[in-house]
Amino acid sequence: MELREALGRRRSIRFVRPYKTVEPEKIQMMFEAARIASHWGNVQSLGAVAVFKESAPKEVIESLEAVIVGWQIRVAPVVIVWFVNPNMVDEQSDRLRQLLDVGALGFGTKDERKDALETQLIPVFEGIKESLKEPGLNEIDCGQGIAQATLMAYELGLGTCCLGSPFGDRMLSALGVPDGCRFLLLQTVGYPAEHWEAGGQRPRQEFGRLFKMNHFSNDFPRSEEVVSELKKDKMFTRPAPLPEREEELAYLQKALGIEPPGLL
Ligand SMILES: Cc1cc2nc3c(=O)[nH]c(=O)nc-3n(C[C@H](O)[C@H](O)[C@H](O)COP(=O)(O)O)c2cc1C
């Protein structure tokens, strides 16, 4: 699938088939996509545990809990628990040395580059190491990894939905994730029970409200030609609500045994 089409098809899929498990190889592909995502200093602080309902211990499955539209956890055959491990920052100097060794960092001869790294760059990072473990930059990079995994899932015909949860610490502890890691997100994964359009492209903020050119007072000019090209490439799809959505929702609710209004 072309990137533009994949971006257009990515949608939060809340209704998946509970009876059809997801092959571990497909979850592996999601993780492979996450692993090659960009991360400051090549630190790689993103980690995850994939919980397979068919094989995980009962207490692990029972520990998974979200608040907003939490019934998705009951329905999904696989739930990924994403976390950030800030202690990976401790290995940052070595990650930089690796980058230098493979020619991804710096100019000059290899010896000159090595010297600059050891005497200039590494001391700077060492000085601010503890602050780099605080919430911020790492989480942004984890988001990039999760986004790549999500696109991979869609390319594989899977549906996913990210779920926040106030019970992160409890879940990480039940999963045996090392101390110091911070919970990020749950992500349900399964084969979609709903049509891929899932009621249509969800509404978004006006383009110009979000993006600017040269100064905050100037909305970024939105070319209609570009919009048409992206429509043609299937990145922009039919906007929600689609005419058949209410009937589709009623059907899905019945099929999956979800109690109305199904928001918790
Ligand atoms: C970080 C994050 C957390 C989210 N948390 C929840 C959640 O707790 N419950 C839920 O139903 N959807 C959650 N979502 C899904 C959003 O509500 C969803 O992205 C939004 O409705 C737009 O739909 P779309 O993803 O199909 O464009 C979350 C999405 C993200 C990226």
In a domain, 219, yes or no: no
Rounded to whole angstroms, the Cα distance separating 218 from 37 reads 32
Residue among 67, 142, 162 whose CB has most ligand 1 atoms within 8 A, to mutate = 162
Structural domain total, the chain? 1
Instruction: Give the atom of ligand 1 at the shortest distance from the alpha carbon of 67.
Output: 8
162 lines ligand 1 (CB under 6 A): yes
The answer to whether position 122 is within a domain reads yes
Range of the domain at 194: 3-198
Exposed e or buried b for every residue in 124-141, given b needs 16+ CB within 10 A?
ebeeeeeebbeeebbeeb
Question: Which ligand 1 atom minimizes the distance to the CA of 198?
Answer: 26
Residue 7 lies in a domain: yes
- Find the 161 Cα to ligand 1 centroid distance in Å: 6
Is the Cβ atom of 158 under 6 angstroms away from ligand 1? no
H/E run at residue 52:
strand 46-52
Residue 220 resides in a domain: no
CB of 68 shorter than 6 A to ligand 1: yes
- pLDDT score, position 170: 96
Q: Integer distance in angstroms from the first to the last C-alpha of the chain?
A: 34
Residue 260, pLDDT score? 86
Protein residue closest via CA to atom 6 of ligand 1? 163
Q: pTM above 0.85?
A: yes
Tell me which residue of 227, 162, 236, 244 sits closest to 202, measured CA to CA. 236
User: Is residue 48 a contact partner of residue 34, using CB atoms and an 8 Å limit?
Assistant: yes
For 91-130, write each residue's pLDDT tens digit.
999 999 999 999 998 888 989 999 999 999 999 999 999 9
pLDDT at position 36: 98
CA–centroid distance, 214 to ligand 1, in Å, is 31
8 belongs to a structural domain: yes
* C-beta of 9 in contact with ligand 1 (< 6 A): no
Whether 207 is covered by a domain: the verdict is no
* Closest Cα to atom 12 of ligand 1: 163
Q: What is the CATH number of the domain that holds 57?
A: 3.40.109.10
Residues of the chain with pLDDT under 70: none
Rounded CA gap, 18 and 209, in Å?
Answer: 39
How is residue 144 written in tokens? 């990039």
Residue 161 lies in a domain: yes
